[in-house]
Amino acid sequence: MSVLENWNEWKDFLGDRLHHAQNEGMDEQVINNLAFEVGDYLAKQVDPKNTQERVLADLWSVASEEEQKAIASMMVKLVQNNGSH
């Protein structure tokens, strides 16, 4: 089963990546920019595997670039407490 198929596993996966980036000294703006790039890639290249991803994909598809950056920033905040710190 892919990490994308289970919402909680996906959040844990993203949380692990976020903590790694922070431990490596990556600042918040760089992290948010990367989250935007990942979100854009997923929206264009990956079919949503669960209901939550479908909602995010639908929101992303109607959002302006500024709104997409806000969505990416909110996803970073959402996963801050996920993963194996």
Predicted pLDDT at 9: 86
Q: Are 67 and 5 in contact (CB under 8 A)?
A: no
Burial classification of residue 18, based on how many CB atoms lie within 10 Å of its CB (0-12 exposed, 13-18 middle, 19 or more buried): buried
Instruction: Give the model confidence (pLDDT) of 72-81 as tens digits.
Output: 999 999 988 8
Pair of tokens at residue 67: 């709104």
Instruction: Give the model confidence (pLDDT) of 38-78 as tens digits.
Output: 889 888 998 988 898 899 999 999 999 999 999 999 999 99
pTM equals 0.83
